[in-house]
Amino acid sequence: MEQLIASFPKNKFEEVRVAIKEFKGYDLLDIRVYAATKDGEEKVPTGKGISVNVSHFAELKQAFLAAEKVLKENNLLHE
C-alpha cells in the first residue's frame, strides 16, 4: 500500500509529505522532506525524515498531542 495523506511546504524549495508506505513487508507511516530537482520539474525524497511502523502510531500520536500542549502553553502555536 502506498497512499499520500498530506503535504505542506517546508520552505521555498522543499515540502513535507506524510504517507503510508509498505517496505519489505512492513506498513510504515513515512514523514519525509521532498526537495526540488535541479530542473525544478519534480520533488524527490531526501534522507531527512522518519518512517515508523504503523503499530507505533498511537505512541506517535500521543507525542504530537503532548508537543501541541507544550506549544500552546508557551504561546508558540497560533491557530
* Number of domains the chain is built from: 1
* Separation CA 60–CA 31 (nearest Å): 12
pLDDT attached to residue 41: 78
pLDDT digits (tens, 9 = 90+) for 55-77: 999 999 999 999 999 999 999 99
The CATH number given to whatever domain includes residue 12 is: 2.30.31.10
Domain assignment present for residue 67? The answer is no
Domain assignment present for residue 8? The answer is yes
Domain assignment present for residue 68? The answer is no
* Separation CA 38–CA 72 (nearest Å): 38
* Separation CA 33–CA 43 (nearest Å): 9
Range of the domain at 32: 3-54
Q: What confidence tier does 3 reach under pLDDT thresholds 50, 70, 90?
A: very high
pTM above 0.85, yes or no: yes
pLDDT digits (tens, 9 = 90+) for 16-55: 999 999 999 999 999 999 999 888 778 999 999 999 999 9
pLDDT attached to residue 14: 95
